[in-house]
Structure 1
Amino acid sequence: MSWQTTKPGLIPSLDVSVERLSNLLSGIDEIRVQNRNPIHALKVGALLELEGLKTIISKIREYSNLPIIIDHQKLADIPSIIKKYVEKIASIGVDGAILLGYVGPTSITTFVESCQEQELASYIVAEMSHDGASTYIKEESPIKIAKLARDLKATGIVCPATRTESIQRCAEVLKGSLLGIMSPGHGPQGGGADSAVMAGADWIVVGRSFYNSQNPQETLIKLGKLIIDKWKIKNSEE
C-alpha cells in the first residue's frame, strides 16, 4: 500500500513562518514511529510557500521524510498553466498538490492527469470549511466534483469537518474506490475531527490547534489516537 492510500491519517498544516518550522517539526518522525501515530503527510500552504518553496522543502526535509502536499490555491488556473505548475512543483520535491474544484472539469482533468504523469498525489477541493464558503456555490457542486475526481482516479477530495453532511454525501460517491477524503476545519473553525471521521473522512487536516498549541507534538499524539479510535468504531459499524 502506498502512502497515498494509507488511512486513517493526520495532516499537520504548516501555515507558519520559516522560523517556526524547527519547533513544530522537531521529533515529528519519531512521534509517528514510536507512538504509531497516523501522520499521513505535511501540508504547505500559500503563506509559507511565498517565502520560497525550494527553501521550505529543504528545511522540512531536515526534520522529516513525510510526504509533502502543496496547497497553493492559485494552482486553480487554466489547463496550460496548471500543467506547467505541476511539472515545476514535481521538480522541486513535492509529493502531492491540492486544487480548488470550482475551476471546472477541464482544469480538474488536466490537474489530475498532470499529477499522475509526475507521480504526484492529487486532491480536489469539493467544498471549503469557512463561513460563507458555499454562498455562491450550487448545492450539488461538491457531489459533481467528487464524481469527477473518482472517475479520474485522483488521490482524494477535500471536504470540511465543519460540514459533516457534505462529507457523508461525498463518501457515498467514493464508496468502493481508493479515493479518500481530506478534512480541514477541525478546532477553531468549529469542526470536530471525531465527527468528521465518523461521517467518512480519512485524513484530518490540523492547523491552528497544532501550530498554536503550547505543545504541538503532544497535540498530534492525542489527535492521532482520537482519529484511530473513531476510525475503528466507524468501520466496525459498516
Structure 2
Amino acid sequence: MAGSRLILALDVYERKRALEIARETADYLWAIKVNWPLIIGSGLGIITELKQVTGLPVIADLKLADIPNTNRLIAGKVFEAGADYIIAHGFPGKDSVEAVMELGETIIVVEMSHPGAKEFIQPVTDKLIALANELEPFGVIAPATRPERVAYIRSKLNEKIRILTPGVGAQGGKAGEVLRAGADYVIVGRSIYESDNPGESARLIYEESLGVWGWS
C-alpha cells in the first residue's frame, strides 16, 4: 500500500499458509520479508509466487555472510527468483557486501534485535554504519527492541539510507516508538502471522504507523 511503513516477516514453512496470509495482509504492507524457514519449507519459487499474488516488493532475509563468490552465487539465484532486496551481514567485509550489491538492492545488518546482539554485533555497529555510509545500500537493519539504538544509528547514518527495524510485536518493540526514533520501516512477524485474524492485526499496526507520521 502506498504510504505504508509495514513489512511482514512471513516466517512460516507452508506455502499455502504463506500465500493465504500474504493475501489477507497485502493491503496494509509495503513489502513482504521471507527468511530461511519459508524458503526451506516451500522452495525458492515462493518469492515469485508472493510477488504474483500481492504485487508487493519481496525482501529475502538471507543475512548473507560468506566470501564474495559464495554471496554472489546465492544472490544471483535469489534475485533471479524475483527478490527485490537481499539482506546481508556487513561483518564479512566490504568485498562480500559489494558482491551482493553488484546484482541488486541490498540491505546491510548493522545491529540485530535479539539480546545476544549486544555481545558481538553492537560493539562494532559504528564500523558497520561506516561501511553502509561508504557503500550506500538501500537500507540497514536496526533493532526495534532498542529504540535508543535506532536513534543513535539514524544520527550517524547517511540520510538517504533507510532504516528497517525488526522486533516489533512478539519481541517487545513498538511500532510508534521506533518510528519516532528514526526508523523508516517496521518489520512485524509473529504478531501478524500467528494472529487469528492476520489482516486485522496488520491493519492495526499500519494505522499506528500512520498516526506517527500524521498521514491520512
Match of 1:10 among 6, 16, 22: 6
Provide the secondary structure at the position in 2 that maps to 1:51: helix
Counterpart contact for 2:51–2:57, Cα < 8 Å = no
Counterpart contact for 1:123–1:154, Cα < 8 Å = yes
By how many angstroms is 1:138 displaced? Answer: 5.2
What is the match of residue 143 of structure 1?
A: 126
Q: Which sections of structure 1, spanning at least 5 residues, go unmatched?
A: 32-36, 234-238
Identity of aligned residues (%): 33
By how many angstroms is 1:27 displaced? Answer: 4.2
Runs of 4 or more above 3 Å deviation: none
**Structure 1's 7 and 91: CA in aligned 2 closer, same or farther, altered over 3 A?**
same
What is the match of residue 172 of structure 2?
A: 190
Match of 1:127 among 111, 115, 118: 111
Select the structure that is richer in strand.
2
Instruction: Report the TM-score, using the length of structure 2 for normalisation.
Output: 0.90
Q: Is residue 77 of structure 1 aligned with residue 59 of structure 2?
A: no
Q: Which sections of structure 2, spanning at least 5 residues, go unmatched?
A: none
One-letter code of the match for 1:51? G
Cα RMSD, aligned residues only: 2.1
By how many angstroms is 1:204 displaced? Answer: 0.4
Cα deviation digits, residues 216-236 of structure 1 (max 9, x gap): 111111111111221349xxx
Counterpart contact for 1:44–1:71, Cα < 8 Å = yes
Counterpart contact for 1:8–1:231, Cα < 8 Å = no
One-letter code of the match for 2:164? M
Instruction: Report the TM-score, using the length of structure 1 for normalisation.
Output: 0.82
Counterpart contact for 2:110–2:121, Cα < 8 Å = no
| Alpha-carbon distance in structure 1 between the residues aligned to 2:80 and 2:178 | 34
How many residues align? The count is 214
Cα deviation digits, residues 135-191 of structure 1 (max 9, x gap): 13352x22221222122120000001111121111111225x321100001111111
What is the match of residue 168 of structure 1?
A: 151
Provide the secondary structure at the position in 1 that maps to 2:111: coil
One-letter code of the match for 1:19? K
